[in-house]
A and B are shown apart, each in its own frame.
Chain A
Amino acid sequence: MIMNNLGYPVLSTLIFLPVIGALLIGLMNRKHEGLIKVSALVLSLLTFAASLPIFFNFDKLTPKMQFVEWYSWIPAFNIDYLIGVDGISVLFVLLSTLVTILCVLISWNSVKIKVKEFFMALLLIEGAMIGVFCSLDFFLFYVFWEAMLIPMYLLIGVWGGPNRLYASIKFFLYTLVGSVLMLVGIVYLYLYAGRDFNILHLANLKYPLGMQLLLFWAFFAAFAVKVPMFPVHTWLPDAHTEAPTAGSVILAAVLIKMGAYGFLRFSIPMFPDAARAMTVPMMVLSVIAIIYGAVVCLAQTDIKRLIAYSSVSHMGFVTLGIFALNTQGIEGGILQMLNHGVVTGALFLSIGIIYDRTHTRQIADYGGVASVLPVYAGLFMLFTLASIGLPGTNGFIGEFLIILGGFTANRAAGVFAATGIIIGAAYMLWLYQRVFFLNVNPKVEGLHDINMRELLAVAPMAVLVFWIGLYPNAFLSFMHPSVQSLLDKVRPASANFSTLADFLRAVFA
Chain B
Amino acid sequence: MSTYLLIPALPLLGFVINILFGRKLIRDKAHLVAIPAVLIAWAAAIYTVIGVVNGKIISEDLYTWIVSDGFRVSVGFLIDQLTAVMLVVVTTVSLLVHIYSVGYMHEDKGYYRFFAYLNLFTFSMLMLIMANNFLQLYFGWEAVGLCSYFLIGFWYEKKSASDAGKKAFIVNRFGDFGFGLGLMLIFITFGSLHYAPVFQAVGGIAGRTVDILGYTVSLPTVIALLLFCGAMGKSAQLPLHVWLPDAMEGPTPVSALIHAATMVTAGVFMVARCNPIFNLSPTALAVVGITGGVTALFAATIALVQNDIKRIIAYSTISQLGYMFLACGVGAYGAGVFHLYTHAFFKALLFLGAGSVMHAMSGELDIQKMGGLRKHMPITYWTFLLASLSIAGIPGFAGFFSKDEILWQAFAQGGVGRVLWVFGTLAALLTAFYSFRIIFLAFHGEFRGTHEQEHHLHESPKSMTIPLMILAAGAIASGWVGIPSIIGGENSNMFGSFLSGVVGRPAELGTHSQEMMVMGLSIGVGLLGILGAAYFYIWNPELPKALGRNFAFIHKVLWNKYYIDELYNFVIVRPTFWVASSIIVGTTDGKWIEGIVNGVPQAIGAFGQRLRKLQDGIVQHYADMMALGLFVFVAIALALFI
Question: Which residues of A does B touch, CB under 8 Å?
Answer: 170, 173-174, 231, 234-235, 292, 295-299, 326-328, 331-332, 368, 370-371, 374, 378, 385, 390-392, 396-397, 400-401, 403-404, 407-408, 411, 414-415, 418-419, 421-423, 425-426, 429-430, 433, 436-440, 470-473, 476-477, 480, 484
Contacts and interface: CB of A to CB of B under 8 A. Distances in A.
Contacts of A430: 166
A174 B597 CA distance: 8
Chain B at the A interface: mostly helix, strand, loop or mixed? Answer: helix
B23 A437 contact: no
A391 B173 contact: no
B455 interface: no
A400 to B, nearest CB: 8
Given A371-B157, A408-B188, A414-B181, A392 B169 contact: no
A472 B181 contact: no
B579 A295 contact: yes
Interface stretch (B415-423, B581-589, B615-623): B581-589
Nearest to B155: A437
A63 to B, nearest CB: 14
Given A234-B593, A296-B584, A370-B156, A472 B65 contact: yes
Interface in B151-185: 153, 156-157, 159, 162-163, 166, 169-170, 173-174, 176-177, 180-181, 184-185
A419 B187 contact: no
B577 interface: yes
Contacts of A235: 597
Interface stretch (B139-147, B261-269, B395-403, B489-497): B139-147
Contacts of B204: none
A395 to B, nearest CB: 11
Contacts of A433: 153, 156, 162-163, 166
B593 A437 contact: no
B174 A422 contact: yes
B249 to A, nearest CB: 12
5 contacts: A298-B581, A331-B69, A429-B170, A472-B66, A473-B67
A439 B593 CA distance: 38
A328 B71 CA distance: 8
A234 B589 contact: yes
Contacts of B64: 473
Contact of B581 (A299, A471, A476): A299
Nearest to A235: B597
A397 B176 CA distance: 16
B432 to A, nearest CB: 38
B68 A401 contact: yes
Contacts, number: 135
A295 B584 contact: yes
A326 B69 CA distance: 9
A401 B72 CA distance: 11
Interface in B576-624: 576-577, 579-581, 584-585, 588-589, 593-594, 597, 601
B4 interface: no
A350 B180 CA distance: 30
A374 B156 CA distance: 12
Given A422-B177, A425-B170, A437 B162 contact: yes
Contacts of B187: 404
Contacts of A332: 68
Interface in B54-68: 63-68
Contact of A374 (B23, B70, B170, B584): B23
A418 B162 contact: no
A414 B212 CA distance: 13
A249 to B, nearest CB: 24
B138 interface: yes
Given A299-B577, A404-B71, A392 B597 contact: no
Given A392-B139, A438-B162, 17 more contacts: A174-B597, A234-B589, A234-B593, A296-B584, A296-B589, A298-B581, A328-B71, A415-B181, A418-B181, A421-B180, A425-B169, A426-B170, A433-B153, A437-B153, A440-B157, A473-B66, A484-B69
A391 B142 contact: yes
Nearest to B139: A391
Nearest to A177: B600
B580 A295 contact: yes
Interface in B116-150: 135, 138-139, 142-143, 146, 149
A39 B17 CA distance: 38
A327 B187 CA distance: 14
Nearest to A425: B173
Contact of B173 (A371, A401, A421, A440): A421
Nearest to B573: A426
Nearest to A173: B601
* Nearest 3 CB-CB pairings of A with B: A327-B69, A299-B580, A437-B156
Nearest to A407: B184
Given A328-B68, A414-B184, A422-B173, A392 B143 contact: yes
A429 B87 CA distance: 31
B300 to A, nearest CB: 30
Contacts of B149: 429
A331 to B, nearest CB: 5
A422 B159 CA distance: 22
A157 to B, nearest CB: 16
Nearest to B137: A391
B579 to A, nearest CB: 6
Given A234-B597, A407-B188, A418 B180 contact: yes
A459 to B, nearest CB: 13
A292 B584 contact: yes
Nearest to B585: A299
A450 B162 CA distance: 24
B24 to A, nearest CB: 10
B584 A437 contact: no
B594 A403 contact: no
Contacts of A471: 63, 65
A236 to B, nearest CB: 11
A329 to B, nearest CB: 9
A418 B177 contact: yes
